[in-house]
Chain A
């Protein structure tokens, strides 16, 4: 079984809809991250969490919110989706050192 899983893997939605992307990990890591990737570009950090009670904004947090329900679960929400949020979204985890991040398979989100 994969260490980091993301659901759904693909989602098509309409402008204005609320969307939640979920991430679960079995690595026992405290650190979790959400990134987005636009076609042909690198990844940009949206939010990261050091533990259940510690959540921090990344470089592009506007229009997104997150919830760390448990050590193993970190959800990303788009409160009112817009077309320029169409992208590939990745969840990642790391241990305390943060040296190595382990990425999930990604969620491809399309906002029409």
Chain B
């Protein structure tokens, strides 16, 4: 799986949009971009995923650049409950051999939402 690079930490004012960047310059054509978050010591929570088109769900939006080498997760109106570590992961979506279901979590970005 491709490696990802994320800033170690970010702050965001409550009510403002939080934009979390991720670089994945070695991503392959069959690899998707996934975002998970982990609120202090709880189990990680799936947020969103995409291949090349922008995606939106009830939690967030995912913007993927045309060359697919980077992406941005957008939380449109951050709340204090969004304070968490956010993980950007690239992985094939379907089974293609041993280990292909593995989610490789790096260190992520610690987002602090400030009142």
* A8 touches B (CB below 8 Å): no
B15 at the interface (CB under 8 A from A): no
| With A56-B98, A98-B93, A98-B101 as contacts: A41 and B43 at CB distance below 8 Å | no
Q: How many residues belonging to A are interface residues under a CB distance threshold of 8 Å? A: 28
Cβ contact within 8 Å between A42 and B87: yes
Do A42 and B107 touch (CB < 8 A)? Answer: yes
Q: Please judge, given known A-B contacts A42-B108, A99-B49, A99-B93, whether A58 and B102 are in contact too, CB under 8 Å.
A: yes
Least CB distance, B106 to chain A, in whole angstroms? 5
Contact of A45 among B41, B43, B95, B103 (CB under 8 A): B103
Closest chain B residue to A103, Cβ basis? B43
Contact between B94 and A97 (Cβ–Cβ < 8 Å)? yes
Interface code A48-63, partner B: CB below 8 Å = 1, 0 otherwise?
Answer: 1000000010110000
Residue B65 at the A interface, CB < 8 A? Answer: no
Residues of A within 8 A of B (CB): 4, 31, 33, 40-45, 48, 56, 58-59, 88, 90, 92, 94, 97-106, 108
